[in-house]
C-alpha cells in the first residue's frame, strides 16, 4: 500500500488542488480500522517510554478547514493512550491579553513539557491563515511571520521538542456534506456555527493561504504533512503511521536507575 499523505519538503511546492482528498492509500475501511488499532497500541508503548525518559517532547499540530476533522482526529488518536502523558490544547480567537503580546506568546507557553505529547487543535498558523484571509493585519506583517514561525519552531526543536504538523485536507463537497449533517441532526446542532457558512465563501482564499503556509514553513526540522481526510478511517490510519514513525525515530529510552532493583527486599 502507498501512503496517501503528501509531505512538503523545503524547496518543493505543494498544490492542494493536485492532492486527492478521497485517497485512502488503497486500504479498505475494515483493513484500515484493524491496522489503526494495531498501530495505536504501538504508539502507546512508545509514549510510555517517552514519558518515563522525561527528556524530550513531541508536538503534534492539527490544522484544517472548518469541519476538517481536527477534533475527531485528536480524539481517535488519543483513545487508549496514557492521559497523564498528553497535553491537548485548542486555540480559539486570541483574548485581549494575548493580543497585547506578540502572536507567538500564547502558543509558546503552551508547548509540551518533557516527556509529554502535545496535541494542538489550531495553532500559531492561524496568524497566517484567518488573519491573512480577513486582512486583520497588513500583508507585510503576516508575510514576515513565516520566517518568525520557522525560527520559533527551530528553537523548540533545538530544545528537545520534535514537531509534526498535519494539514487535514478535505474537499469543498465534503465540507458541504459535513455542514449539512450538523443541521440535519439535533444532537449536532451545538457544533454548527452560522459563521462556518460565511467562512466557506472564502474557500479559495483559504486554500491559497494554506498552500503558502505549508510551502513557506516546511523545514528540515518541522515538515508539513497534507493528509487526505474525506474518509475519517483513512485519515486516522495515515496519522497513526506518521506518529509511530516519528516516535521510533526519536527512540526514547527508559532512564538509568540509581538503584539495583534486585537488591531491594520488600518485607
Question: What is the DSSP code (8-state) at residue 256?
Answer: P
Q: Which of 121, 7, 5, 124 is nearest to 72 (CA)?
A: 121
Helix axes 232-250, 70-78, angle to 10 degrees: 60
Q: Which three cell numbers stand for residue 78?
A: 488519543
With a cut of 70, list the residues of the chain below it in pLDDT. Answer: none
What pLDDT sits at residue 1?
73
- Report the alpha-carbon distance of residue 213 to residue 13 in Å, rounded: 11
- Report the alpha-carbon distance of residue 93 to residue 131 in Å, rounded: 10
What pLDDT sits at residue 265?
92
CATH 3.30.390.50 for domain 6-252: no
Reduce the DSSP state of residue 184 to 3 states and report it. Answer: helix
- The pTM of this model reads 0.96
What pLDDT sits at residue 241?
97
What pLDDT sits at residue 201?
95
- Report the alpha-carbon distance of residue 46 to residue 40 in Å, rounded: 10
Amino acid at each position: 500500500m502507498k501512503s496517501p499523505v503528501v509531505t512538503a519538503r523545503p524547496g518543493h511546492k505543494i498544490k492542494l488542488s493536485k492532492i486527492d482528498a478521497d485517497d485512502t492509500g488503497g486500504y479498505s475501511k475494515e483493513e484500515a480500522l484493524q491496522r489503526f488499532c494495531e498501530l495505536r497500541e504501538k504508539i502507546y508503548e512508545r509514549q510510555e517510554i517517552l514519558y518515563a525518559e522525561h527528556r524530550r517532547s513531541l508536538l503534534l499540530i492539527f490544522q484544517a478547514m472548518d469541519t476538517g476533522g481536527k477534533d475527531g482526529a485528536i480524539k481517535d488518536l488519543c483513545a487508549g493512550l496514557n492521559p497523564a502523558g498528553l497535553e491537548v490544547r485548542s486555540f480559539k480567537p486570541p483574548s485581549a491579553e494575548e493580543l497585547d503580546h506578540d502572536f507567538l506568546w500564547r502558543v509558546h507557553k503552551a508547548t509540551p513539557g518533557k516527556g509529554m505529547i502535545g496535541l494542538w487543535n489550531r495553532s500559531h498558523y492561524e496568524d497566517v491563515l484567518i488573519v491573512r484571509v480577513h486582512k486583520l493585519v497588513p500583508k507585510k506583517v503576516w508575510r514576515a511571520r513565516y520566517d518568525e514561525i520557522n525560527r520559533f519552531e527551530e528553537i523548540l526543536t533545538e530544545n528537545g521538542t520534535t514537531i509534526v504538523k498535519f494539514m487535514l485536507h478535505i474537499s469543498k463537497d465534503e465540507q458541504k456534506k459535513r455542514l449539512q449533517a450538523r443541521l440535519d441532526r439535533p444532537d449536532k446542532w451545538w457544533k454548527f456555527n452560522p459563521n462556518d457558512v460565511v467562512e466557506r465563501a472564502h474557500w479559495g482564499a483559504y486554500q491559497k493561504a494554506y498552500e503558502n503556509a505549508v510551502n513557506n514553513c516546511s523545514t528540515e526540522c518541522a515538515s508539513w504533512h497534507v493528509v487526505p481526510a474525506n474518509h475519517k478511517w483513512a485519515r486516522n490510519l495515515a496519522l497513526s503511521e506518521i506518529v509511530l514513525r516519528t516516535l521510533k525515530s526519536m527512540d526514547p529510552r527508559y532512564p538509568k536507575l540509581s538503584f539495583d532493583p534486585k537488591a531491594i527486599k520488600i518485607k
